[in-house]
């Protein structure tokens, strides 16, 4: 009867029964959900359960709350909204028993994150629980703190954590270190409070504490580089720790595949890296142990390789003596030959860092690296490309660029532009043979369609204008390229081609290049480009420029002149202002025999800084000025 009064008007017979089905066990819920055949079934099942849970929450049932919240968490994992249950988690956290607290904290970690204001309400519970005698409850609190605490909570609870780092229980100390890590991430200014604590942690015997301690130190250096000089004092201790690990016999507690606590070794090596970089004295202290780790670690299993990898990274980052560096690079070379893709990947990654200082050593492995470029694995290919780009020099540029151009066929779209730029940059820097340079760049531009940046056009033009010997050759090649279907050719290439035709077409008339181009052929191409649907307005402007230059070059040929005139004519009424202006000015320029030759003289060698568009506008500008004169002239007595 008391139950009936709470439930309102439900019949007494079913009231006591009605309560139990509402509160099924977690396992049953999971089983029910898994038994649902369709999405709709599952939704109905979940909704029913949510309703039951909601009612149960309203009833403030203490015993079953944690079971209901556990079910809620499961429902959340499936993807349904569950924010209405957050307050229940808070109530659980404030409970007294361990199972309640456990689900409560777990709920907090899953349902909330540091940005939620509701979290502030938990702060007090956290504070109390941190000092709980039961190490597991304290552990729970620290866990939540470390995983989701906001900056304010971190700051408030920092004093508690500082004390806990000195606690007698290693379990507590270990977790306190990680909490300190998070606190510092959120509030870097608190670092001073922890510097001496962290030093004492390194003298601990417990591996877990050592591990978290080294991570804490690493994080401190990452957040504030000024802590490094102070922490360098710890290097001897760290070296000792590492030595103990390497020299110790079989230690079943921390053994993995025959190596004692590889995770701790890796962590110490990482820390040594940061402390040794930039300090010759510190690096000296580490030399011996690094050499020992590098030579004695078994590399048949992945664990050994993990340690070697970290060791090599450390050696190349500190001021190591050359013998040690050679050792490191040899290890990397061995990695490259390994059949395991993971190891090769890691080697390629590290070689990129080494190349800056020891490029000759890396060159020895060039062929292996090039092979990696052809590997079916995308990750390997990308790493290999980075490395090849850095390895290019005068002697190997032709071979390597060919590989890079080959790769252009298969690379994904998002990396194409980068690759094209890389190819052109190295070709520019290292190629001695200009013809080959031009060939390669044209080939690259032809293949890469839309992925070309405008800078490439200007560097190509600057190259051509500076080298008279290849001007004819280049113009030939470009003419070829433009004869193809225009929509497959990059606009940049079209622009460069058109510009070259304008400047140098007359060279071809006399057969200077490999081909003999008549004015009509040149004008054919210009005509085609002008009227093609894929040509942009900018390109059309370039074509107009080229046409008027041709007028000067082919000054003796009447049919060419007539054709040029007829090509220019339609644009005098064009909607595009620039096109209209140019065509009108150029038509005027036609009739001015006296200044035409001067204005349309061949361009001098261009410096790379000046963009071709600007240079052309400058030439057009000069023409415009004199046209202004020409336009004014008819008004004067002729």
Partner 1 sequence: LPQTRRGKPRLSKYYRAYTDDEKHKVEGEIHRLVTGRDSKFTNFVEFRQHKLIYRRYAGLFFTLCVDTSDNELSLFESIHLFVEVLDQFFGNVCELDLVFNFYKVYMILDEFFLAGEVQETSKQTILRRVQELDRLE
Binding-site ranges for partner 1 (CB under 8 A): 27, 30, 34, 70, 73-74, 77, 79, 98-99, 102-103, 106, 109-110, 113-115, 136, 143, 146-148, 171, 174-175, 178-179, 181-182, 207-208, 211-212, 215, 252-254, 256, 261-264, 266, 270, 302-303, 305-307, 309-310, 313, 341-346, 376-380, 382
Least distance from partner 1 to the Cβ atom of residue 223, Å: 14
Which C-beta is closer to partner 1: that of 146 or that of 486?
146
* 333 burial level (CB within 10 Å; 0-12, 13-18, 19+): middle
Least distance from partner 1 to the Cβ atom of residue 185, Å: 8
The torsion angle over the Cα atoms of residues 202, 204, 205 and 210, rounded to 10 degrees, is -50
Greatest Cα pair distance, the chain, in angstroms, is: 121
Which C-beta is closer to partner 1: that of 126 or that of 442?
126
Least distance from partner 1 to the Cβ atom of residue 365, Å: 18
Indicate the helix (H) or strand (E) that contains 260: strand 259-260
Quick one: DSSP state of residue 259? Answer: E
Which C-beta is closer to partner 1: that of 242 or that of 343?
343
Least distance from partner 1 to the Cβ atom of residue 382, Å: 7
- Residue 221: partners with Cβ closer than 8 Å, 6 or more residues away: 227, 228, 231, 271, 274, 275
Q: How many other C-beta atoms lie within 10 A of the C-beta of residue 205? A: 7
Least distance from partner 1 to the Cβ atom of residue 377, Å: 4
Q: How many helices (H) and strands (E) does the chain have?
A: 35, 2
Which C-beta is closer to partner 1: that of 129 or that of 585?
129
Least distance from partner 1 to the Cβ atom of residue 389, Å: 17
Which C-beta is closer to partner 1: that of 136 or that of 240?
136
Least distance from partner 1 to the Cβ atom of residue 188, Å: 15
Least distance from partner 1 to the Cβ atom of residue 597, Å: 58
Which C-beta is closer to partner 1: that of 37 or that of 115?
115
Which C-beta is closer to partner 1: that of 228 or that of 489?
228
Least distance from partner 1 to the Cβ atom of residue 526, Å: 46
Sign of CA dihedral 154, 156, 159, 160: negative
Which C-beta is closer to partner 1: that of 104 or that of 497?
104
> What is the Cα–Cα distance from 274 to 518, expressed in whole angstroms?
68
Choose among 118, 212, 227, 116: nearest CA to 171: 212
> What is the Cα–Cα distance from 302 to 94, expressed in whole angstroms?
45
Q: Which residues of 549-568 are buried (b: 16+ CB within 10 A; e: fewer)?
A: bbbbbbeebeebbebbeebb
Q: What residues are paired with 256 via a beta bridge?
A: 259
Which C-beta is closer to partner 1: that of 307 or that of 424?
307
- Residue 87: partners with Cβ closer than 8 Å, 6 or more residues away: 118
């Amino acid at each position: 009867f008391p139950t009936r009064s709470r439930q309102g008007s439900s019949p007494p017979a079913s009231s006591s029964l009605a309560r139990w089905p509402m509160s099924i066990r977690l396992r049953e819920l999971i089983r029910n959900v898994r038994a649902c055949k369709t999405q709709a079934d599952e939704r109905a099942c979940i909704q029913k359960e949510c309703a039951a849970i909601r009612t149960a929450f309203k009833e403030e049932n203490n015993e079953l709350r944690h079971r209901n919240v556990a079910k809620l968490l499961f429902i959340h994992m499936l993807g349904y909204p569950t924010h209405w249950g957050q307050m229940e988690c808070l109530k659980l956290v404030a409970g007294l028993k361990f199972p309640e607290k456990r689900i409560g904290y777990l709920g907090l970690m899953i349902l909330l994150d540091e940005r939620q204001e509701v979290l502030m309400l938990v702060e007090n519970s956290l504070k109390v629980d941190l000092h709980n005698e039961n190490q597991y409850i304290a552990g729970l609190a620290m866990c939540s703190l470390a995983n989701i605490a906001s900056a304010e909570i971190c700051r408030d609870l920092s004093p508690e954590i500082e004390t806990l780092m000195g606690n007698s229980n290693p379990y507590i100390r270990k977790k306190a270190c990680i909490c300190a890590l998070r606190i510092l991430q959120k509030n870097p200014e608190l670092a001073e409070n922890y510097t001496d604590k962290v030093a004492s942690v390194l003298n601990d015997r417990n591996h877990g504490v050592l591990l978290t301690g080294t991570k804490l130190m690493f994080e401190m250096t990452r957040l504030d580089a000024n802590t490094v000089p102070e922490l360098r004092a710890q290097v001897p201790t760290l070296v000792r720790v590492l030595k103990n690990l390497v020299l110790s016999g079989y230690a079943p507690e921390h053994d993995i595949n025959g190596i004692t606590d590889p995770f701790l070794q890796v962590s110490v090596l990482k820390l040594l890296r940061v402390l040794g970089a930039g300090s010759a004295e510190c690096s000296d202290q580490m030399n011996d142990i690094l050499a020992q780790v590098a030579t004695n670690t078994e590399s048949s299993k992945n664990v050994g390789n993990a340690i070697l990898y970290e060791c090599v990274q450390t050696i190349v980052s500190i001021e190591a003596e050359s013998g040690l560096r050679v050792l490191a690079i040899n290890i990397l070379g061995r990695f490259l030959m390994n059949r395991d893709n993971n190891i090769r990947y890691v080697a390629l990654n590290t070689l990129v860092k080494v190349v800056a200082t020891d490029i000759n050593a890396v060159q020895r492995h060039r062929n292996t690296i090039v092979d990696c470029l052809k590997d079916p694995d995308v990750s390997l290919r990308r790493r290999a490309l980075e490395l090849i780009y850095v390895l290019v020099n005068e002697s190997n540029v032709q071979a390597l660029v060919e590989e890079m151009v080959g790769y252009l066929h298969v690379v994904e779209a998002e990396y194409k532009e980068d690759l094209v730029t890389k190819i052109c940059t190295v070709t520019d820097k290292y190629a001695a043979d200009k013809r080959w340079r031009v060939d390669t760049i044209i080939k690259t531009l032809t293949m890469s369609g839309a992925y070309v940046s405008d800078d490439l056009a200007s560097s190509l033009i600057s190259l051509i204008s500076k080298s008279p010997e290849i001007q004819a050759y280049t113009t030939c090649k470009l003419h070829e390229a433009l004869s193809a279907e225009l929509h497959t050719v990059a606009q940049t290439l079209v622009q460069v081609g058109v510009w070259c035709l304008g400047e140098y077409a007359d060279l071809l008339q006399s057969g200077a290049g490999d081909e003999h181009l008549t004015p009509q052929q040149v004008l054919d191409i210009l005509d085609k480009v002008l009227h093609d649907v894929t040509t942009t307005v900018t390109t059309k402007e370039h074509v107009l420029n080229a046409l008027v230059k041709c007028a000067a070059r082919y000054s003796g040929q009447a049919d060419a002149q007539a054709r040029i005139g007829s090509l220019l004519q339609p644009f005098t009424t064009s909607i595009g202002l620039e096109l209209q202006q140019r065509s009108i000015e150029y038509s005027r320029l036609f009739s001015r025999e006296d200044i035409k030759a001067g204005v349309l003289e061949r361009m001098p060698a261009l410096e790379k800084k000046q963009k071709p568009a600007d240079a052309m506008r400058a030439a057009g500008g000069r023409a415009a000025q004199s046209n202004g004169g020409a336009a004014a002239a008819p008004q004067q007595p002729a």
